[in-house]
Structures are given as C-alpha cells and as structure tokens.
C-alpha cells in the first residue's frame, strides 16, 4: 500500500503537528453515543453480524479523512496511506483472553464482509496475542460488549503512533432508542476535536446510507 510523505514546509497543519509531536505529547479521546436504532433490527432481518458490519462502517468513515490515515515511515517522516486495514480483537471465553486479528480493507461490502467473517471464524482457536505480519497501515478496533459506558480512555504515551484507536461498548435501548457508546482516540498531532466530530457525523450518514442502499 502506497505511503505518501507530507512536505511540512507546505502543510497547513505542520505547526500543530510539530507542537503535539514534540512539545505536548497527548491524545484526544472522545466518547459519543451513536444511534443504531434502525441498524440493529435491519441487521437481524438481513442476518448480518453486528461486529463485522460496524468494523466495515467505521473503516469506511475513517477513509473519508486523510488525517486518520497518517503514519511515520522508517526515517521518521510523516505521511499518509492510500488505505488502512482494521486490526480488531476477538474474545476467547475458554481462556478469558483476546487476540488481535486484521483483515484487508475492501470498499466493496460484499467482498469485505465474507472475508472478515472468515478471518474471525478461522481464528477461534488462535490464542496468541496477535496474528503475524500485521501491516504498517493498520488502525485498532476493540469492543466491550459486556459494558455500556460514558467514557473510555487508553492511558498510553502516544509517542509516534498516529492511527486512530476505536472502541465501543454494549448498546442499550432506552425509550425506544438504541444507543452505542463509541470512543475515538487519536494522537493530537494527527487530528483535532473538529476532525473527530466530523467522523461521528460521517458515521451517522454511512449507517443511514447502508440501510437505505443495501445490497450495496
């Protein structure tokens, strides 16, 4: 997958990037409850699995903004990938541990969905921490289906890891509305709250379009 180096001398975000990369290293983490009131019954009707579909929709939304595809090459230059692949967790009840898998991104839902379902099924007895050969152009997804929460934060030194970290919890129905807490964490040098807010708006729009346009 192609990596395009960014020229800091002409990048309109260069000062922001360097400030949060070198002087105030920190991450943005926002939790927002998205409405999946229409999506949940729709997926049940179509016999589609919630987790793989959400991974597809989240990945599609991330591709709409270049800042969510940033990375660093081996020489330490910042740039962006043409495409990013989701790295996601699966839970093993037997050991109460998880494994990190990854699947190649494909904009075509009817290609991506069976592939990620196959990857999940074929690794049910894979108890290692991570699949080998995870591509450098990946981002992280995890899910806490046992807990609905209001805030979630991974306390790590952001360093030079610029990719988004997406987490969602257990969805709840209240007064006829089904809401899913979805958390978005990213190095502040890569993006601001404005861009994260745009992601949530894009995701809402993509969920609605998925329901209206399926089969895509």
188 in catalytic set: yes
Calpha distance 98→88 (Å, rounded): 10
- Which of 63, 153, 187, 188 is catalytic? The answer is 188
**The two three-digit tokens of residue 193, written as one number:** 């709250």
* Sequence-separated contacts (24+) of 119-127 with Cβ below 8 Å: 120/51, 120/52, 120/90, 123/90, 123/99, 124/90, 124/92, 126/99, 126/101, 127/92, 127/95, 127/97, 127/99
| Positions marked catalytic | 188
């Amino acid at each position: 997958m192609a990596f395009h180096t960014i020229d800091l001398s002409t990048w309109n975000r260069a000062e922001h990037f360097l400030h949060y990369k070198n002087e105030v290293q920190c991450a943005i983490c926002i939790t927002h409850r998205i409405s999946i009131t229409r999506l949940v019954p729709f997926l049940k009707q179509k016999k589609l699995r919630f987790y793989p579909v959400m991974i597809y929709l989240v990945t599609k939304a991330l591709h709409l903004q270049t800042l969510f595809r940033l990375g660093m090459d081996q020489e330490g230059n910042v740039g962006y990938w043409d495409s990013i692949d989701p790295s996601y967790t699966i839970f093993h009840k037997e050991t109460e541990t998880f494994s990190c898998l990854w699947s190649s991104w494909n904009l075509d839902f009817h290609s991506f969905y069976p592939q990620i379902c196959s990857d999940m099924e074929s690794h049910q007895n894979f108890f290692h921490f991570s699949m080998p050969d995870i591509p450098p152009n990946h981002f992280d997804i995890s899910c806490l289906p046992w807990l609905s929460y209001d805030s979630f934060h991974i306390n790590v030194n952001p360093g030079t890891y610029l990719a988004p970290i997406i987490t969602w919890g257990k969805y709840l129905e209240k007064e006829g509305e089904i809401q899913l807490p979805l958390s978005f964490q990213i190095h502040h040098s890569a993006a601001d709250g404005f861009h994260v807010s745009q992601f949530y708006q894009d995701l809402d729009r993509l969920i609605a379009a998925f329901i209206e346009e399926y089969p895509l």
